[in-house]
C-alpha cells in the first residue's frame, strides 16, 4: 500500500497523458470528446490529490524509511498534480481543430 501511495500519482499522470492523447483527434468532430477530456483531467486531479494527502499522512508513526517515502511521495505527487493541471489547461486555451 505504501508504494502505491508514493508512486500512484505517476501511474495516474500516465493515464491522463494517454487518455487526452487518445481523445485529442476526436475533439474537432465531437464536442463531447472535449468534455471527456475535462472530466478526465478533473478525475485524475482528484486521485493525485488524494495520493498527496495520503503521502503527507504517511509521515506519522514511522521510522526514517517511512519518513523518506512520505517526503518522496509528496514531492512526486505534487509534481504530478502540476503536470496534470498544465496538460489540462491546454484544453482550455488551444482550439481543438488547430
pLDDT tens track for 80-92:
999 999 999 988 8
Nearest to 45 by CA among 2, 73, 86: 86
Domain assignment present for 24: yes
Instruction: Quote the pLDDT of residue 80.
Output: 97
* pTM, to two decimals: 0.90
Q: Which domain holds residue 29?
A: 2-91
For the chain, count helices (H), then strands (E).
3, 0
Inter-residue contact 49 to 10 (CB < 8 Å): no
Total of domains in the chain? 1
Return mean pLDDT, the chain.
91
| 37: in domain | yes
Q: Give dist(CA 38, CA 42) in Å, integer.
A: 6
Output the pLDDT for position 94: 80
DSSP string for residues in 11-57:
HHHHHHHHHHHHHGGGTTT-HHHHHHHHHHHHHHHHHHHHHHHHHHH
Is position 96 within any domain? no
The model's confidence at residue 41, banded by pLDDT at 50, 70 and 90, is very high
Amino acid at each position: 500500500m505504501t508504494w502505491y501511495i508514493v508512486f500512484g500519482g505517476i501511474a495516474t499522470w500516465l493515464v491522463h497523458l494517454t487518455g487526452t492523447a487518445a481523445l485529442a483527434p476526436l475533439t474537432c468532430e465531437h464536442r463531447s470528446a472535449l468534455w471527456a477530456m475535462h472530466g478526465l483531467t478533473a478525475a485524475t486531479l482528484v486521485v493525485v490529490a488524494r495520493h498527496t494527502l495520503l503521502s503527507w499522512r504517511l509521515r506519522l508513526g514511522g521510522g526514517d524509511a517511512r519518513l523518506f517515502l512520505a517526503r518522496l511521495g509528496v514531492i512526486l505527487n505534487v509534481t504530478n498534480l502540476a503536470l496534470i493541471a498544465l496538460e489540462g489547461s491546454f484544453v482550455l486555451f488551444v482550439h481543438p481543430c488547430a
